[in-house]
Amino acid sequence: QLALYARAWEVANPGDRVIGVGATQVGNQTQQYLEIDPEYLEQCSQLQVGIVGGDTHGHYRLPGDAQDETSNPFRAWMRERITTAMRVIENAKSGNIHPEPSNLCKYCPIIDACPSAKRGGW
């Protein structure tokens, strides 16, 4: 979801570029975890705004890039997540779903129309 929110911000605010996304873990200690665009990694690390990571940096590149090419992995990660979301939407529109019946079915508003819904004690 973070990639979708990031891109939505860019679309809604032309000229803005999202350089990082993050999540906050709340518990005995509150910790902010950030995934940062490598072009801004050094600057963001100096800001001391949370734990700055580069988990996307070794895993993502833009489609069509050769293995030795270096594209921006943060932007490639955003693209991959958006592409995946679009595929899920298109498949759902086509009637292709991957049901995972569980006790959470009792909260679903369309349980009566779902042949895969988990009902009762089974």
Q: Per residue in 5-16, pLDDT tens?
A: 999 999 999 999
The structure tokens listed for 59 are: 């895993």
Q: Exposed, middle or buried: residue 66 (CB in 10 Å: 0-12, 13-18, 19+)? A: exposed
pLDDT grade for 119, boundaries at 50, 70 and 90: low
pLDDT value, residue 60:
76
What pLDDT, on a 0 to 100 scale, did the predictor assign at position 3? 93
C-beta neighbour count of 4 within 10 angstroms: 14
Q: Report yes or no: 41 and 72 within 8 Å, Cβ to Cβ.
A: no
Q: How far is CA 111 from CA 20, 42, 64, 94, in A?
A: 38, 49, 42, 19
Compute the radius of gyration of the chain from its Cα atoms.
19
pLDDT at 92 over 70: yes
